[in-house]
Amino acid sequence: MGMTITEKILSEKTGHKVRVGEYILIEVDIALANDITAPLAIDEFYKTGIKKVYNPEQIVLVPDHFVPNKDILSAMQVKKIRKFAKEQNIEKFFELGRMGIEHVLLPEQGIVKSRDIVVGADSHTCTYGALGAFSTGVGSTDIAGVYMMGKAWFKVPEVIDVYIKGNFRKYVSGKDFILKLISILGVSGANYKVLEFRGPGIENISMDSRFTISNMAIEAGGKAGIFPVDDLTIEYERERGIKVEKLTADEDASYMRRIEFDLNELEPQVAFPFLPSNSKGISETEKEKIKIDQIVIGSCTNGRMEDLRAAAMILKGKKISRNVRCIIIPGSQQVYKNAIREGLFDIFVNAECAVSTPTCGPCLGGHMGVLAEGEVALSTTNRNFVGRMGHVKSKVYLSSPVVAAASAIKGYIANPENL
Amino acid sequence: MILKGKVWKFGDDISTDHIAPGRYFHLRTNLPELAKHVLEDAREDFASKVEKGDIIVAGRNFGLGSSREHAPRIIKLAGVAAIIAKSFARIFYRNAVNIGLPLIEIKEADEIDEGDVLEIDLANGIVKNTTKGKEYKFVPMPKFMLDVINEGGIENYISKYGDYKI
């Protein structure tokens, strides 16, 4: 019997052929935590009385959720992380000014790569599946376990085969694909399972779109969302001085379910409140003329260059509606710099959008764009749960950057085709 | 270990935003204060009325969303002894085990009503509804997870065993 990508990576690490359902203990390559989750992990680590971490090279610390520090408590959290990084000689601590939203930053800086085992105390750690890594979200105590012993436990998951053919039409991208897939699977359809993407359509999906797709595997409950390592991945890694080899599932690998998907049939999607699985096509959505108060373009889901370029293409030479405010957040310092160099900041500021330094801020209702009672947002982020972006009686719709930008101009959720 | 307590009912897809809303994250360094808002966005009266030893019974996919461990921690801190649901979101499940909060999956969760009194035998996989005189079986957790629960979390477990014993 052949193996899935998941089984190949896990077997390589354990040194034996793993089987679905087996509990394994493996040394991880990277253990990531942020300003919300790291302080709890640090406290747990020190409570055991252990003085030194197992291996500082494994550890990555990225304060990004409430950074630049929102208030005194946020500042205290980051101070604790900074102190820990210094005490434990952790080099991969990313201070404001060098940081980015963690899941934009780590691939961009070549910190994670194909075949790595990555755990992160952040649910969107599944993003790195785009590079062919086995990468999954855990909690702070799991991370503390890595600080103590360098390893984590896993149950070898079942795999869902997502077979993709065709190519995206104009104005359609990875975000639309993953929203549609989540609507098919439901928010728990991939619970405890891995989504593995394959098929002839894969080569038409850009790296940035792959990051968006893998990022939201968790919104279907997925443990990971993994792409094969192909020429595109090899080139992406080569640009970062990393040499990787192709990695695909065997033809006779065993899956618990197969979903076939034709990208040609896909139109832009909008996920309605209060679950990411509530998506509808843009042509149907536009008829409802849903008025919005705030647009957010950014986040670990859609804060990369492809996303900002797509928004800029729509906003160029235009002004947003007087009835909305639009916040644009480049995902990292590198993205920020590239966006300035390509003239995107001019386009955004001329369109009367606010452009922010990298932060998770509004996505989780933290800061930099919190909603009032009764307000409605259209956001390129990943969750639209009750109260997610602020007041418990506010609402969030989710879409791609193109739809968000078109809607910023119109003041209601709009189809970019009809601008 | 036998747990006994009365039931609080919740629906499907209770998210970590329902459990620990982002707007209270200024309290994240003060878990006892954060626990005063536990599950507030699902049931406003829960935090003020829940008693030590009570049991949450919910529908599908309890705990979906963020990896914030604060979510199971404040549920435990509020006094909840165990959560029964038709299913749990994966990261929430890991986190709950790691901090020593028992989770039980049973398909018949709908048959249990608010206020029912339950007895849970974790090691043998039995839930008894003493109010209704019904009994349900579940697959017990693997031994290392039960040990983690019995020790009250990973930190105590590692202090005692020195490593994971899988």
Residue to test with chain A: of B19, B25, B143, most A Cβ within 10 A: B25
Give the distance from residue B128's alpha carbon to the nearest chain A alpha carbon, in angstroms: 27
Q: Cβ A141–B69 below 8 Å, yes or no?
A: yes
Give the distance from residue B113's alpha carbon to the nearest chain A alpha carbon, in angstroms: 24
pLDDT confidence of residue A385: 94
pLDDT band at B119 (very low <50, low <70, confident <90, very high): very high
The mean per-residue pLDDT over the stretch A210-225 comes to 97
The answer to whether A133 touches A115, Cβ cutoff 8 Å, is yes
pLDDT in tens, A347-388: 999 999 999 999 999 999 999 999 999 999 999 999 999 999
Taking the C-alpha atoms of residue A181 and residue A22, their distance in angstroms, rounded to an integer, is: 28
Among candidates B17, B70, B87 on the partner chain, residue whose Cβ is nearest the Cβ of A385? B17
Q: Cβ B17–A153 below 8 Å, yes or no?
A: no
Contacts of A23 in chain B (CB under 8 A): 142, 144, 166
pLDDT band at A394 (very low <50, low <70, confident <90, very high): very high
Give me chain B's average pLDDT, please.
94
Instruction: Report helix, strand or coil for A151.
Output: strand
Cα R_g (chain A), whole angstroms: 21
Give the distance from residue A16's alpha carbon to the nearest chain B alpha carbon, in angstroms: 16
Q: Cβ B154–A145 below 8 Å, yes or no?
A: yes
Taking the C-alpha atoms of residue A378 and residue B68, their distance in angstroms, rounded to an integer, is: 24
Q: Cβ B91–A71 below 8 Å, yes or no?
A: no
pLDDT of residue A60 exceeding 80:
yes
pLDDT confidence of residue A48: 87
pLDDT of residue B25 exceeding 80:
no
pLDDT of residue A102 exceeding 80:
yes
Q: Cβ A139–B89 below 8 Å, yes or no?
A: no
**CATH 3.40.630.30 at B2-161, yes or no:** no
pLDDT of residue B19 exceeding 90:
yes
Residue recorded with tokens 């309890």: B62
pLDDT in tens, B122-148: 999 999 999 999 999 999 988 999 999
Instruction: Please name the residue of chain B whose CA is at the shortest distance from the CA of residue A49.
Output: B159
Residue to test with chain B: of A78, A188, A398, most B Cβ within 10 A: A188
Report percent pLDDT > 90 for chain B. Answer: 81
Chain B residue set in contact with A, beta carbons under 8 Å: 13, 15, 17-18, 21-23, 25-26, 28-29, 41, 60-61, 64-70, 87, 89-91, 94-95, 98-99, 142, 144, 153-155, 158-159, 163-164, 166
pLDDT band at B111 (very low <50, low <70, confident <90, very high): very high
Where residue A343 falls (left for φ over 0; alpha for ψ -120 to 50; beta otherwise) is left
The mean per-residue pLDDT over the stretch B92-110 comes to 95
pLDDT band at A38 (very low <50, low <70, confident <90, very high): very high
pLDDT confidence of residue A365: 94
The answer to whether A413 touches A399, Cβ cutoff 8 Å, is yes
Phi, psi of B117 (to 5 degrees): -105, 130
Please state the separation of Cα A330 from the chain's center in Å. Answer: 13
A188/B contact by beta carbon, under 8 A = yes
Q: Cβ A40–B158 below 8 Å, yes or no?
A: no
**What H or E segment, with its residue span, contains residue A138?**
none
pLDDT in tens, A72-88: 999 999 999 999 999 99
pLDDT of residue A393 exceeding 90:
yes
Beta strands in A266-362 (DSSP E): 269-271, 279-281, 294-297, 325-328, 354-355
A138/B contact by beta carbon, under 8 A = yes
pLDDT confidence of residue B48: 96
Q: Cβ B70–A390 below 8 Å, yes or no?
A: no
Contacts of B89 in chain A (CB under 8 A): 188, 191, 221
pLDDT band at B27 (very low <50, low <70, confident <90, very high): confident
Q: Cβ A385–B166 below 8 Å, yes or no?
A: no
pLDDT band at A172 (very low <50, low <70, confident <90, very high): very high
Taking the C-alpha atoms of residue A187 and residue A161, their distance in angstroms, rounded to an integer, is: 17
pLDDT of residue B26 exceeding 80:
no
pLDDT in tens, A296-352: 999 999 999 999 999 999 999 999 999 999 999 999 999 999 999 999 999 999 999
Instruction: Report helix, strand or coil for B8.
Output: strand
Q: Cβ B155–A44 below 8 Å, yes or no?
A: yes
pLDDT confidence of residue B28: 79
Q: Two tokens at A256?
A: 């618990």
Give the distance from residue A85's alpha carbon to the nearest chain B alpha carbon, in angstroms: 19
Q: Two tokens at A229?
A: 């390592």
The mean per-residue pLDDT over the stretch B52-73 comes to 95
**What H or E segment, with its residue span, contains residue A401?**
helix A401-410
Overall pTM > 0.90 = yes
pLDDT band at B1 (very low <50, low <70, confident <90, very high): confident
Q: Two tokens at B56?
A: 């949450």
pLDDT in tens, A265-310: 999 999 999 999 999 999 999 999 999 999 999 999 999 999 999 9
Structural domains of chain A, ranges and CATH numbers in brackets: 5-263 (3.30.499.10), 270-414 (3.30.499.10)
pLDDT confidence of residue A58: 98
pLDDT band at B162 (very low <50, low <70, confident <90, very high): confident
A364/B contact by beta carbon, under 8 A = yes
pLDDT in tens, B36-47: 999 999 999 999
Contacts of B68 in chain A (CB under 8 A): 36-37, 139
Q: Cβ A191–B89 below 8 Å, yes or no?
A: yes
Q: Cβ A386–B15 below 8 Å, yes or no?
A: yes
Residue recorded with tokens 């349900």: B136
What are the sequence ranges of the domains in chain B? 2-161
Residue to test with chain B: of A123, A143, A219, most B Cβ within 10 A: A123
Q: Two tokens at A194?
A: 């891995």
pLDDT confidence of residue A116: 98
